[in-house]
Amino acid sequence: MPKKNTTILSLAIVCFTLIVALALVRNDLCEVEYRNGTALFKAVLAYEVRD
């Protein structure tokens, strides 16, 4: 297998592993919070379902 394909496959495996690990630990994958003392950073993924 060429080196480029191996790199892409490795990256895909790492991303998939991270998503599965987050799904096992967190209830909601669309919201991430980070607290640092008095500061709160929150990232929310908003999406709309089309009919």
| Mean pLDDT in consecutive groups of 10 residues from the start of the chain, 51 residues | 85 91 75 88 81 69
Determine the pLDDT at residue 1: 60
With CA atoms as reference, report the closest residue to 29 among 38, 40, 18, 39: 18
Question: What pTM did the predictor assign?
Answer: 0.50
Instruction: Please name every residue paired with 42 in a beta bridge, in sequence order, or none if there are none.
Output: 33
Determine the pLDDT at residue 31: 81
Determine the pLDDT at residue 39: 94
Residue pair 34/41 in contact (Cβ under 8 Å)? The answer is yes
